[in-house]
Structure 1
Amino acid sequence: MANPTKIPTKQKAPAGKARRRRGISPWVPNQHGAWAMLISPAVLGLIAGLVAWVRSDGSALSLLVFLAVLVAWFFGYFAFFAFGLAVKARNPQRRARYLRPVYVYGAVSLAGIAVALLAQPQLLWWALPFAPLVIVAVGETVAGRSRSTLSGVSTTIASALLYPALVGVGSGSGAGSVGVVAWTGMLFLAAYFSGTIPFVKSMIRERNNPRYLTGSIIYHVLAVLFVLGLVLLAPVGWAAGVLMVATALLALFRAVYVPVASRGGADWNARRLGMAEVPVLLVACAGVLATLL
């Protein structure tokens, strides 16, 4: 017989529901697809920058600049992510909670920028290509379009710019003196990562929009021609050229095959999409690294 005096205990809500009630953590970006775009150019740029540093017999101070630039980049992105949450927040208390990491991460990023500029003042020239891209991304976020194609493309191009910037750190040169090969690597990365935006949108947010799928396929066809032109005009070497063109062709294939297969009933969820992108990303990274040979 049940005890009538027993006080019923409050059941715990499932962890997923509890997290939704608390909201997204502003301290850790949850856009998993952005991590590849965030990390890959940084790692590739660091490797290329260190190669340039060794070849130019650079000073030990450049090693500190590498660290400062990477700190500025990553913490700047963390601040931007939290800022996007703060803009969308309707609750003043939640907005205040989201703004705390903006201030903390923003201060760390600015400190990294200050250290880098004090050590290598010529890095200030990189503000010319970076600033418009940052303004576009912030403007889209303030306008409530943080997931727009324009915002995504601006951030991917900014990420790709990190590659020649780090090469410049290693060689001790400004934006205009990093060399054709470094800029070719940047343009290739920008073209590849920009293509992932319409592809993913054609699978998720614009899944039922045939015009968006058509636009994605057209972009990837043009990207193949663009990359082919790059490797023919720039002295990247045959290995890098083959790998870069292979990346563009693989990206075109998945931009056509995956949406068609999905509409035919295949289960292409976000996790599977991410896993399928890994081989393409590895070929792209190998193509950039091959330019260093």
Structure 2
Amino acid sequence: MARGRYDWVPDQHGAWAMLTVPFLAGTFLSPRPGWAHAALLAAWLLGYAAAFHAQQWLRLHARALRSARRHGRPALVLGAACAAFGLPLAAAHPWLVPAACAAAPFVAVNTLYAWRGRERALVNGLAAVVPACAVLPVAAGLGGLGPGGSWRAAVACLLYFAGTVPYVKTMIRERRSRAYRRGSVAYHAVALAAATALSPWLAAPFTAYLARAAVLPGRGLRPAVVGAVEIGCSAALLGTLLAVF
């Protein structure tokens, strides 16, 4: 019975930091964080969970696998819960509707890759990063901060979380690929330069991200350790964004 309850929570552990860090940054960078942010966060997380189960249902149903059934009910229930939080919020703040629609092309890419059974593809991971980071200016706008005050923080989030996609692959699925390691290190070097251009204070965390991309692959770290390192990196990013911007 307990297992059934836990099956409703997506097991993509790395996604939770990517969903929450930009949201929290946008919320607390805004001058008026409030209850509307709590409703938006609920809709945001429930929407992600509903989309995850819908995509898993599609992937398994396309292969005529009976295990698709266990994703159907969570997709419907979580989708309804998302609507229960999101629709009143959209009625009060109509500009949230086009903001949500802007995420649709990226969700479509993720859905296509799920249908093909290629959720682990690099492009699929990068497509998921964009709307996850774009929620930062949405949360900031809900609290009264315009795009001019939030875009640098959003770009910093994009630079970091886009880098986690190839980096995590070098630690687990592509740990024997030298090409992935070189590409990951090269990306993090470019990200360091770009982040420093946004704010010199961002050089410190992004130097650490570059170091971990260069040093940690090939050391045989367990996935739990890799995850713990990323939690620390995400927390460092959030703290820096709130302190700098």
Q: In the alignment, is residue 116 of structure 1 matched against residue 116 of structure 2?
A: no
2:32 is aligned, of 53, 66, 75, to: 53
* CA deviation after TM superposition for structure 1 residue 224, in Å: 1.0
Residue among 22, 25, 43 paired with 2:24: 43
Shift of residue 163, structure 1, vs aligned partner: 1.1
Question: Percentage identity across aligned positions?
Answer: 31
Residue of structure 1 in register with 2:70 after alignment: 97
Counterpart in the other structure of 1:30? 11
Counterpart contact for 2:185–2:213, Cα < 8 Å: yes
* 2:47 paired residue number: 76
TM-score, reference length from structure 2: 0.89
The alignment covers a number of residue pairs equal to 241
Q: Does the 8 Å CA contact 2:17/2:231 hold for their aligned counterparts? A: no
Shift of the 25–83 alpha-carbon distance from structure 1 to 2, 3 Å rule, reads farther
> Is the Cα contact below 8 Å between 2:54 and 2:75 reproduced in 1?
yes
| Structure 2 Cα separation of the partners of residues 158 and 76 of structure 1 | 12
Structure 2: distance between partners of 1:110 and 1:249: 41
Aligned partner of residue 73 in structure 2, secondary structure: helix
Task: Say if 2:141 and 2:147, in contact at 8 Å, map to a contact too.
Answer: no
- Residue ranges of structure 1 left out of the alignment (5+ in a row): 1-18, 55-62, 232-240
**In the alignment, which residue of structure 2 is the partner of 1:190?**
158
Partners of 2:127 and 2:113 in 1: CA distance:
10
Distance 2:180 2:241 in 1: 29
Q: 1:29 to 1:128 in 2, by over 3 A?
A: closer
Q: Give the residue type in structure 2 aligned to 1:217.
A: V
| TM-fit CA distance, 1:128 | 5.2
Question: Within the alignment, does 1:146 sit opposite 2:119 as a pair?
Answer: yes
The runs of at least 4 consecutive aligned structure 1 residues that moved more than 3 Å come to: 90-93
Say whether the 8 Å CA contact 1:68–1:115 is kept in structure 2. Answer: no
1:65 counterpart residue number: 36
**Tell me, which stretches of 5 or more residues in structure 2 are unaligned?**
none
The AA in structure 1 aligned to 2:181 is L
* CA distances 1:218-243 after superposition (whole Å, capped 9, x unpaired): 11111111112222xxxxxxxxx41x
Greater length-normalized contact order (CA 8 Å, ≥ 6 residues apart): 2
